[in-house]
Structure 1
Amino acid sequence: MTALSDCVVVVTPRSFGAHDNGLRQELETEVGEVRYWPGPLSAEELTPLVADADGLLAGLDEVAGAVFEQAPRLRVVARYGVGVDRVDLEAAKRHDVTVTVTPGANANAVAELTIAFLLALARPVTAGRDRVRAGQWPALQGVELEGRTLGLIGLGRIGSLVAGKARGLGLRVLAHDPLVEESELAELVPLGRLAAESDFLSLHAPLTGETRGIVGCSLLERLKPGAALINTARGELVDEAALVWALEEGPLRAVALDVLAEEPPPADHPLLSRDDVLITPHIGPHTMEATTAMGRIALDELLAVLSGRTPRFAL
């Protein structure tokens, strides 16, 4: 096993150490060489960069099977976040590479962005700003959140935080999560009822074979008329073509998205130019507090594996 002081580590998250330079200093002191390559990177871009690396501190990079096959020294992929849909876990297992995550580090940041979206969909904040900039002063109509229903698909760490914050705003909270049997924060209901009763539908599920495209035509057509959709989880949870249909011909009133199936989206993406769609560039986990916490946990996990110790959050 390569000594820690001789290890090569590749770091791709742009925000690693941005608000706590001590994280970079610690990593650079502990290992032999650190290479910073701002991502997210495709598998083709990543493969040559980790060919002689012992560790990868990864963001939203595509860590495919080919990456592991071409990196014989690689021992750990420390994910900067909790989603591992872009990591080939079977290939990691075959090549005896430990994959770790940073559970809970960005949960509150994403939950707070969800609440910000909820408020932006209730009141025309961005539209009001644009109209004032254009020299207008219209009385734009909105709705109040108190007494309305928020439906959550997914009631894990982030979904539970959203539920608690939403209840504080006076919302009734419903949730659908096959892995949760009971909750004091939300009433657990079938997916069809969730769609039919929610004024706002918010996604907080992981991306799996079962959840990919869960928001498609069959679900969207069951939405309550005038409902709004929020996605701060994974873009692939939503069938984007079906979303356009639901906005143009179906019951959907508005959408707020922090994630898309393709990031960044092509210039001609059909959702980009719509006034009833608010899109932000995957800013959910990017607060000073969350990025520092993710960096701390990811660094600890990476150094633990490279030192021969047991990490806390290995998959």
Structure 2
Amino acid sequence: MTTVFLDYGTFNSGLDVNSIRQVTEKLTLHEFTQPAEVISRAQHAEIIITNKVVLDAETLAKLPKLKLICVAATGTNNIDLDAAKQRQIEVCHAKNYAGPAIAQYVFSQLFKRFQNIEQHNYNVASGKWSTSQAFCLHDQPINELAGKTLGILGYGHIGQAVAKAARAFDMKVLIAERPDSQTVREGRVSFDDMLAYADIVSLHCSSTPATQGLINSDRLAQMKPSSILINTARGDLIDNNALANALRTQQLSYAILDVLDQEPPPSSHPLVAGMVSGDIPNLAITGHIAWASQQAQQRILNIVTANIVGFNTGKLINKVN
């Protein structure tokens, strides 16, 4: 089948797409595709692979040959699933690929915060250790993760991977119940209790109408002033202005964000601007790369291949519509 990958540029170069080529008659890779280019590039495609390119009802109506959409990600908010179903277009996504990568990211950031390793490396490179009167150069303090409490909201594939790593460092793990739940399942704690008791809160839940703006000024006030907030899930889970204010006033010790509500963000974004200017020094932001180890990216492409094979053999997997 004729296949078009509309935004292969969202992946690193050097990944292996040969498995996809082997299960399609023709594969065309486009680095990026603007909305006005979708129809011309995909009009003859029977299969579209997309990471973030939007395929809405109007676009799908102009792609009569399309039979399968492979989303090279877990989220499918860029696809009009109802319109696809009406047109008998199957939609499959990729899931359970990013756990190791995101767990590694979370703890890389925590190590940087608790170990101050960059400063200690610099102390030697700058010659500071060579002039020390003591055999060891303490400088910035080092704190242990052991004994700290990690609260997790969203206990799927990724949340479980983060919890596994936390337990390996002798951390206590609190798994939060859904914020709107009236009952608390065994092995979990209420969302409010997790916020109150956790030293570190890590978000791994989906963006839904119920979770958008979930971390607002009231929720931030429930957290310890010494606590750390980590978001590798979706940017719109957090009220930007509330977080910026909490960090500036030291109501919250530190925040680590890999996602924002606008991606890429404008330079005027309240959190980006605060970090760049130094106005919010207790904030670290990375550009939505927690998921993006080479291995995780390759797993996505392998899942896309499996989705195409499933479609070709009449045994669909990872179907979402």
TM-score, normalised by the number of residues in structure 2: 0.83
- Cα distance 1:295–1:170, how it changes in 2: closer, same or farther (>3 A)? same
Partner of 1:140: 140
Deviations 1:126-145 (A, max 9, x none): 56668888887881234321
* 1:195 CA drift (Å): 0.9
Matched, 1:251 2:257: no
Q: How far, CA to CA, are the matches of 1:223 and 1:161 in structure 2?
A: 23
* 1:20 CA drift (Å): 4.9
AA partner of residue 311 (structure 1): L
- Cα distance 1:278–1:16, how it changes in 2: closer, same or farther (>3 A)? closer
- The match for 1:288 among 268, 278, 294 is 294
Q: How far, CA to CA, are the matches of 1:17 and 1:268 in structure 2?
A: 28
* Matched ranges for 1:90-129 at <5 A: 90-126=82-118
Structure 2: gaps (5+ residues) = 130-137
* Matched ranges for 1:233-252 at <5 A: 233-249=233-249, 251-252=251-252
- Cα distance 1:266–1:118, how it changes in 2: closer, same or farther (>3 A)? same
Asked whether the 8 Å contact 2:12–2:294 carries over to 1, the reply is no
Q: How far, CA to CA, are the matches of 1:172 and 1:282 in structure 2?
A: 27
* Matched ranges for 1:81-92 at <5 A: 81-92=73-84
Asked whether the 8 Å contact 1:50–1:67 carries over to 2, the reply is no
Deviations 1:7-39 (A, max 9, x none): 242342336695553xx3343344343221224
Partner of 2:316: 311
Q: How far, CA to CA, are the matches of 2:87 and 2:121 in structure 1?
A: 53
Deviations 1:52-104 (A, max 9, x none): 32111111333333332332222212122212233222222222221112221
* 1:223 CA drift (Å): 1.0
* 1:301 CA drift (Å): 0.6
Structure 1: gaps (5+ residues) = none
Q: How far, CA to CA, are the matches of 2:293 and 2:304 in structure 1?
A: 16
AA partner of residue 224 (structure 1): K
AA partner of residue 74 (structure 1): L
AA partner of residue 168 (structure 2): G
Q: How far, CA to CA, are the matches of 1:242 and 1:110 in structure 2?
A: 25
AA partner of residue 160 (structure 2): S
- The match for 2:45 among 43, 48, 53 is 53
Partner of 1:220: 220
Whose Rg is larger?
A: 2
* 1:250 CA drift (Å): 5.3
Matched, 1:31 2:24: yes
Query: What secondary structure sits across from 2:215 in the alignment?
Result: coil
* 1:48 CA drift (Å): 4.0
Q: How far, CA to CA, are the matches of 1:159 and 1:282 in structure 2?
A: 17
How big is the alpha-carbon RMSD for the aligned residues of Structure 1 and Structure 2?
A: 2.8
Q: How far, CA to CA, are the matches of 1:136 and 1:203 in structure 2?
A: 39
Q: More displaced, 172-181 or 56-65?
A: 172-181
AA partner of residue 49 (structure 1): R
Query: What secondary structure sits across from 2:214 in the alignment?
Result: coil
- Cα distance 1:160–1:196, how it changes in 2: closer, same or farther (>3 A)? same
Query: What secondary structure sits across from 1:115 in the alignment?
Result: helix
Deviations 1:176-204 (A, max 9, x none): 14399757xxx411111111111111010
Q: How far, CA to CA, are the matches of 1:91 and 1:97 in structure 2?
A: 8
